[in-house]
Amino acid sequence: MDFYEVIKTRRTVRNYKADPIPEDVLRRVLDAARIAQSGSNRQPWHYIIIRDKERMKGIVPLCANQAFIAEAPIVVVACGMNLKTNRGGYMGDFGMLVDVTISFSQLTLAARVENLGTCWIGSFNNEGLKHYLGIPDDMQVVALTPLGYPARADAFFENATKKPLEEIVSYEKYK
């Protein structure tokens, strides 16, 4: 699939089939996250793959009761390691969030190529998930997503609700 087709038709999916994801497909999707760019190539990410249905259901109350998360055959939890050093500047320790976000974004795009749906979940209880999943103290949950084949045949489409280029780009100066 052409790259531009991928990014145009990646959509948030909130209904999933229970169909399993073949191992080779899952591996390709995770590999897309693995090879992402990061500041100083520090790769401060770790991915937890959840397949156990009971464990998955326990995640739902820690994610604002978004029940569809447990419909998918897999939930992927993206964790980030706190950075002990930074190069100064206003970004400071938040650099980890940038790195993990880039990696996780690649995962969502690779999922699209494989006709798998994702839904970036940003509404979650970090401390609750850390405790529930045994995530070390010096790491944080950055995002999670259900991963599975969409229940609806029309799940992937070009969304007309995006702002036009003229609204989001200026040349030479902001104004």
Site residues (CB under 6 A) for ligand FMN? 11-12, 14, 66, 119-123, 159
Contact 130, 114 (CB under 8 A): no
CB of 74 to ligand FMN, least distance (A): 17
Cα–Cα distance measured from residue 132 to residue 126, given in angstroms and rounded to the nearest whole number: 10
Per-residue 3-state assignment (H helix, E strand, C coil) for 134-160: CCCCCEEEEEEEEEECECCCCCCCCCC
Q: Closer CB to ligand FMN, residue 79 or residue 121?
A: 121
**Please, what is the minimum distance in Å from the beta carbon of residue 120 to ligand FMN?**
4
Q: How do strand 139-148 and strand 74-81 relate by DSSP bridges? A: antiparallel
CB of 108 to ligand FMN, least distance (A): 8
Name the residue nearer to ligand FMN (CB basis): 72 or 121.
Answer: 121
SS3 39: helix
- Nearer CB in complex with ligand FMN: 3/174: 3
Q: Which is nearer to ligand FMN, 87 or 127 (CB)?
A: 127
Q: Name the closest residue to ligand FMN (Cβ).
A: 122
Contacts of 102 (CB under 8 A, 6+ apart): 36, 37, 38
Minimum CB–partner distance for residue 159 and ligand FMN (Å)? 5
Closest to ligand FMN by CB, 47 vs 120, is 120
Q: How far is the CB of 12 from ligand FMN (least distance, A)?
A: 4
Which residues touch 92 (CB under 8 Å, ≥6 apart)?
86
User: Edge-to-edge strands of the sheet including 117-118?
Assistant: 45-50, 74-81, 139-148, 117-118
